[in-house]
Chains A and B, each alone.
Chain A
């Protein structure tokens, strides 16, 4: 029997037993579709997080005071020491490192922002002119606290704050009061919404030394450092740690987080999560495979006399085995392809409903889902096909 005839004959059988075939194809396709949709969700979550991280800057290193150690709670407390603060001087030292393209010190606090007739509490960021390029922020209007202006009393408002305080007239050039000091509004940030749980629409930015004066402190919350290029991130990290150690009397009491390390961690976690949900969904494919086995076993016993006849008119055991395998392969193939379409459709629906969520199933997941569907379908037919091929022709013919 030629391959083409085997394919045609098996396809004819698939079409003849319509309800049975539709049910199997449905089970198979739901399994495949669930693998595709769940991996699309998992991979979408991964890409979503990566995009969020990329949006906060490139080649970014974050210096924070104190040192997290894996041994014990925090060593400073045990030894009766407090970690040294990061100071503006430290930041300036880092700025002189050859690997550092630019830096932005960060001081954070809350203060009352007021005009003649409005007053509210706002989050205040103290920094320098490099904050905008390092953090990939954008200005909607005016200029940022400009170069060398760390001493000038300028303020940049978040988009929502600007709209709240100056709904009718332009904010630029207006005077506002922050705490006890007066500031001149030099710019307004473009609305960027939430980024890493931090809403830039509702902050104000002032020069870092004003912020330190306002909060009555000499310490910094963070120093953001941008390395010259991606390849130098590790070297930059070492240079920063060495510089700070020297500045802090040989005490290694600061932590540098690289964006890459955080990203890689999230990437790993979410990739593992994707694999886990894909694995769970794949169980439904195995269930579908068992269903195929059951249905093909029923088919063999239903078609016993047909198998006997095929043997009588010259079919070999191999012919009969191949016919049943091909039938199962057709069912699995149609189920897998339908499931692929359903899965892609489902992912598309998610992308339409949640445009910021990149729910694309990775190619490996689609390929694996289709592959597993075909393989389980065909493996599941081994037993029924062998059973059919081994039937005794005389007994099979006499069975009604």
Chain B
């Protein structure tokens, strides 16, 4: 359960102050499938970053699972990111010197999970995302679709309750992109909250709930009756 109350975020660019988010109020229930759409600079990525605790609002209140998280310490926020939130990026953000398996293992390592359990969970994830053959390959040796599958495996290895995807298919061709979307939607069917930021209308329209943003404000917020 995500609840944003009067969230405002401004950036200073040179002498100009840009209002990236202007008093956003938003409530997202657990297990929802939500897309945030809008042109460049509409504030959709900033909104995603604030939901993901990567960025701090200038004012307003953010409650996650009925708990105010805005005022938590850096270490507590890092823990929430680790345990409750999985990020999927347009450019995958895999660490080039680590193998696919090591990239997937990274959140577990940061979380201090014992090594035996880590190996087991990574093995299961490799199986689930059909990456067993590629486990010991570095990202440079993987195709775009495989890279994004590694990234999704990494985002889900801690079994987070929320997946945040910023243009997850932006660097993939149409067919591979569709496959990746099916993977993400499959996670949502299993109960994970899925929030996708995109400027692709077709992609955004797959979500049950669609939010359109412009100039830091929510323009429309539509929910489809039937999934």
In this complex, how many residues of chain B approach chain A with their Cβ under 8 Å: the count is: 27
A280 in contact (CB, < 8 A): no
Given A1-B109, A312-B87, A316-B74, 20 more contacts at CB 8 Å?
A1-B110, A13-B97, A16-B97, A305-B93, A311-B54, A311-B78, A311-B81, A313-B82, A313-B87, A313-B110, A313-B155, A314-B81, A314-B110, A314-B111, A315-B78, A319-B110, A393-B55, A394-B54, A397-B89, A400-B91
CB within 8 Å: A-B pair count: 63
Most-contacted residue by chain A among B81, B91, B158 (CB, 10 A) = B81
Most-contacted residue by chain B among A13, A311, A314, A394 (CB, 10 A) = A314
Q: A5-B112, A13-B97, A16-B97 are in contact. Are A313 and B154 (CB under 8 A)?
A: yes
Closest 5 CB pairs of A and B: A314-B82, A16-B97, A316-B78, A309-B93, A314-B81
8 Å CB contact of B109 from A5, A308, A317, A397: A5
Q: A309-B95, A313-B87 are in contact. Are A9 and B75 (CB under 8 A)?
A: no
Chain A residues with CB under 8 Å of chain B are 1-2, 5, 9, 12-13, 16-17, 305-306, 308-319, 393-394, 397, 400
- Bound form: Cα–Cα A311–B52 in Å: 11
B168 in contact (CB, < 8 A): no
Most-contacted residue by chain A among B55, B93, B112, B158 (CB, 10 A) = B93
Interface residues in B38-60 (C-beta closer than 8 Å to A): 49, 52, 54-55
Q: Give chain B nearest CB distance to A22 CB in angstroms.
A: 16
Interface residues in B83-108 (C-beta closer than 8 Å to A): 83, 87, 89, 91, 93, 95, 97-98, 106-107
8 Å CB contact of A314 from B55, B78, B95: B78
- Bound form: Cα–Cα A30–B191 in Å: 59
Provide the residues of chain B in CB contact with A2, threshold 8 Å.
Answer: 112
Q: A1-B110, A5-B112, A397-B89 are in contact. Are A312 and B52 (CB under 8 A)?
A: yes
Provide the residues of chain B in CB contact with A1, threshold 8 Å.
Answer: 109-112
B127 in contact (CB, < 8 A): no
B223 in contact (CB, < 8 A): no
Most-contacted residue by chain A among B49, B55, B78 (CB, 10 A) = B78
Provide the residues of chain B in CB contact with A13, threshold 8 Å.
Answer: 97
Provide the residues of chain A in CB contact with B95, threshold 8 Å.
Answer: 306, 309
Q: Give chain B nearest CB distance to A382 CB in angstroms.
A: 19
Q: Give chain A nearest CB distance to B148 CB in angstroms.
A: 14
Q: A309-B95, A312-B81, A316-B74 are in contact. Are A393 and B54 (CB under 8 A)?
A: yes
Q: Give chain B nearest CB distance to A394 CB in angstroms.
A: 5
Q: Give chain B nearest CB distance to A12 CB in angstroms.
A: 7
Q: Give chain A nearest CB distance to B111 CB in angstroms.
A: 7
- Bound form: Cα–Cα A16–B93 in Å: 18
16 A-B Cβ contacts within 8 A?
A1-B111, A2-B112, A12-B98, A17-B97, A311-B78, A311-B81, A312-B81, A313-B87, A313-B106, A313-B155, A314-B79, A314-B83, A314-B107, A316-B74, A318-B75, A319-B110
Q: Give chain B nearest CB distance to A306 CB in angstroms.
A: 5
